[in-house]
Amino acid sequence: MDLDACAEIENNYDAVILRFFEGDVPMMICSGDAVSGTKKRESRSEAFIANPFSYSFAPVPMSDEGANFLDMPNLQFSVNKDGQNLDMANEFMRFLITPRELNEMAQNKGLMSPTKDLSFDSKYAAFGTVPESRILSPEVFGLTDDAVVQLRQAVFLVGTGEMTIDEAVAGFGSFTQ
């Protein structure tokens, strides 16, 4: 990894995704929020429009046993408890959170589905193969800070050589930006 070249990218979220489509970045390590930006940026890349290609996301093996998957669904709906037609709103929410509808919304937005079935979208099918024992939930192990912030800080500190992987694992949950 060329850290000096990485440091030159001013808007690393937008620029890395677009550079990926241009062919300048053959692989990128990213969190779910970067993944969610790929589909909507396909149409902004002249190279991708001219020569579209298939791509997929895979969990990164972090140990000899394989990859862990930090399960943090991006599912946020709200219903105003004081709104009119509350029964209708709640019934509509029940419809929206069926696996079929959640998968449909995820596919239309280019996101990973918050359901257990990831086979409907080849971009995320590899995550469906992570064994249940290696799927981690922030709530279960007490991570109260935004896990994306923690992951980015850990990756940055390990990637720049400021911390070992073991130190990052031990400090996960206590990093500040």
C-alpha closest to that of 16 among 33, 2, 4, 30? 30
Mean pLDDT, the chain, integer: 79
Q: Where are the domains of the chain?
A: 140-177
Specify the pLDDT at position 49: 96
| φ/ψ (deg, to 5) at 81 | -65, -20
Q: Identify the residue with better confidence: 41 or 76.
A: 41
Q: Is 18 exposed, middle or buried (0-12, 13-18, 19+ CB in 10 A)?
A: buried
**Cα 143 from Cα 173, distance rounded (Å):** 6
At 128, the amino acid letter reads G
Pairing, β 135-136 against β 61-63: unpaired
Residue 114 has pLDDT above 60, yes or no: yes
In the chain, the percentage of residues whose pLDDT exceeds 70 is 82
Over the stretch 50-88, which tens digit does the pLDDT of each residue have? 999 988 888 877 778 888 777 765 555 677 788 888 888
Residue 133 has pLDDT above 80, yes or no: yes
Specify the pLDDT at position 72: 66
In the chain, the percentage of residues whose pLDDT exceeds 90 is 7
Residue 99 has pLDDT above 70, yes or no: yes
Pairing, β 69-70 against β 135-136: parallel
At 67, the amino acid letter reads A
Predicted TM-score (pTM) of the model is 0.59
Over the stretch 145-173, which tens digit does the pLDDT of each residue have? 677 777 778 888 888 888 888 898 888 87
**Cα 155 from Cα 34, distance rounded (Å):** 14
